[in-house]
């Protein structure tokens, strides 16, 4: 991903798995995103548990990305 200066937090997840799944859904829709979780450079791997795992997108993709993520939360798996 290039030029991250216009990135905004789309949402925060409680774990990496949910954030990675959401990132995959965005990628499948052609939206670049970035998963961010603070772990103090690897020195404290559980630190992200305190603040969660953020999913960031470009400001210009925010509305569309939000619709994709919210739609996925409403989906029922049978």
CATH of the domain at 54: 3.30.70.1530
d(CA 77, CA 58): 29
Q: What's the confidence (pLDDT) of residue 35?
A: 94
pLDDT of res. 66: 95
E strands of the chain, at which residues?
7-13, 33-36, 53-58
Q: Which domain holds residue 57?
A: 4-74
Question: Count of domains in the chain?
Answer: 1
pLDDT digits (tens, 9 = 90+) for 3-33: 556 999 999 999 889 999 999 999 999 999 9
The model's pTM is 0.78
């Amino acid at each position: 991903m290039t030029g991250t200066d216009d990135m905004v937090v789309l949402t925060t997840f409680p774990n990496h798995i949910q954030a990675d799944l959401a990132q995959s859904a965005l990628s499948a829709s052609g939206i670049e995103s970035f998963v961010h979780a603070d772990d103090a450079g690897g020195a404290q791997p559980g630190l992200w548990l305190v603040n969660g795992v953020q999913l960031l997108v470009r400001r210009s993709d925010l509305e569309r990305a939000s619709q994709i993520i919210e739609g996925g939360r409403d989906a029922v798996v049978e």
